[in-house]
Amino acid sequence: MNWISNYVRPKINSLFSRREVPENLWTKCPECGTMLFHRELADNLNVCTHCDHHMAITPRDRFKAMFDGGVFLEVKVPEPLADPLHFRDQKKYPDRMKAAQKSTGEKDAMLVAEGEVMRTPIVAIAQDFAFMGGSMGMYVGNAIIAAAERAVKLKRPLVLFSAAGGARMQEGILSLMQMPRSTVAVQMLKEAGLPYIVVLTHPTTGGVTASYAMLGDVQIAEPNALICFAGPRVIEQTIREKLPEGFQRAEYLLDHGMLDRVTHRKNLREELVTIIRMLTRQSPAVHGDLPATAEAPKA
């Protein structure tokens, strides 16, 4: 055995270690346990090819897959005050922010973009659950206002993808203030006669559900997304009753009149365009021969 462990194995190892192998080549589906090759998973928009489980997708990847040719323009979001409460739990808030920025490569939990989807101009905004649980702080509030202002200025509909654990505790009352702020931003769109469409993704909870994520003219959700204010575990402990199967999941909420649609991620792009073009009185997009974008909707 000695010559194998001392000579052959290091030789084999050195052969392979020279090539750079990305660490996360395979992802295990949390629902069915199938090992999925990363490229195949990315091609399928992070939806399990085996069981259709919708995994998280970053706002940037979502936008790349949604906008025509993957081209979009980022809308600048005003920077809020950093750590106004000098908050500290196990870690200082600025340290937490730095770690999240490093791991996601984004500034905060929201990305705003403008571009065209099947030649239909829109403004889109997406929340990143990977960034501190997609928590709603001042930056998220600023992002929603920036997106709404941009949509009003360009006379375009706004599409919002939500994913959040709720308000950002590290900003205390300032994070809760984003609920009325974002509600006012949505009102700006309504006053301008522009559609506001919400796509709820897994999970959308807490203060986000209690404000801008529930104010859409059309409420769409991705399959099996958890959408709630307080989660099922908290409710179960409070009322001491067993909750029904699929409680607070997208399909359950659709059945009970809380949602308009539950749409598979691969059909989302087309469905959004159909709804937007209908609401803004544009001719439908035709495959293979997309019509030029019609006039902006009348305010």
31 near Zn ion, judged by CB under 5 A: yes
Q: Among residues 29 and 227, whose Cβ is nearest to Zn ion?
A: 29
Q: Which of 41, 46, 53, 211 binds Zn ion (CB under 5 A)?
A: 53
Cβ(114)–Cβ(147) below 8 Å: no
Q: Which two tokens stand for residue 11?
A: 């030789």
41 near Zn ion, judged by CB under 5 A: no
190 near Zn ion, judged by CB under 5 A: no
Residues composing the chain? 299
- Residue 26 CB, nearest approach to Zn ion (Å): 13
Q: Which of 51, 85, 184, 234 binds Zn ion (CB under 5 A)?
A: 51
Q: Is 228 annotated as a binding residue?
A: no
State which amino acid sits at residue 40. E
Question: Where on the phi/psi map is residue 129: left (φ > 0), alpha (ψ -120 to 50), or beta?
Answer: alpha
156 near Zn ion, judged by CB under 5 A: no
Question: CA-CA distances (angstroms) from residue 138 to 5, 179, 194?
Answer: 57, 10, 24
Q: Among residues 52 and 149, whose Cβ is nearest to Zn ion?
A: 52
| CA Rg value for the chain | 22
Q: Is 51 annotated as a binding residue?
A: yes
Label the pairing between strands 196-204 and 120-127: unpaired
For Zn ion (CB under 5 A), the number of binding residues is 7
Cβ(90)–Cβ(140) below 8 Å: no
- Residue 223 CB, nearest approach to Zn ion (Å): 12
Q: Closest by alpha carbon to 258, among 298, 299, 226?
A: 226
Q: What angle do CA 31, 32, 37 make, to 5 degrees?
A: 100
32 near Zn ion, judged by CB under 5 A: yes
Residue 73, number of CB atoms within 10 A of its CB: 12
First to last CA, the chain: 80
Q: Which two tokens stand for residue 265?
A: 């991620």
Q: Which of 50, 88, 91, 256 binds Zn ion (CB under 5 A)?
A: 50
The single residue listed with the structure tokens 């920025």 is 101
- Residue 264 CB, nearest approach to Zn ion (Å): 14
251 near Zn ion, judged by CB under 5 A: no
- Rounded to whole angstroms, the Cα distance separating 181 from 189 reads 13
Q: Among residues 31 and 83, whose Cβ is nearest to Zn ion?
A: 31
Which of the 8 DSSP states describes residue 272?
A: H
54 near Zn ion, judged by CB under 5 A: no
Q: Among residues 226 and 285, whose Cβ is nearest to Zn ion?
A: 226
234 near Zn ion, judged by CB under 5 A: no
29 near Zn ion, judged by CB under 5 A: yes
Q: Which of 41, 48, 208, 275 binds Zn ion (CB under 5 A)?
A: 48
Q: Among residues 110 and 250, whose Cβ is nearest to Zn ion?
A: 250
Q: Among residues 53 and 277, whose Cβ is nearest to Zn ion?
A: 53
Q: Which residues are annotated as a binding site for Zn(2+)?
A: 29, 32, 48, 51
Residues making contact with Zn ion (CB under 5 A) = 29, 31-32, 48, 50-51, 53
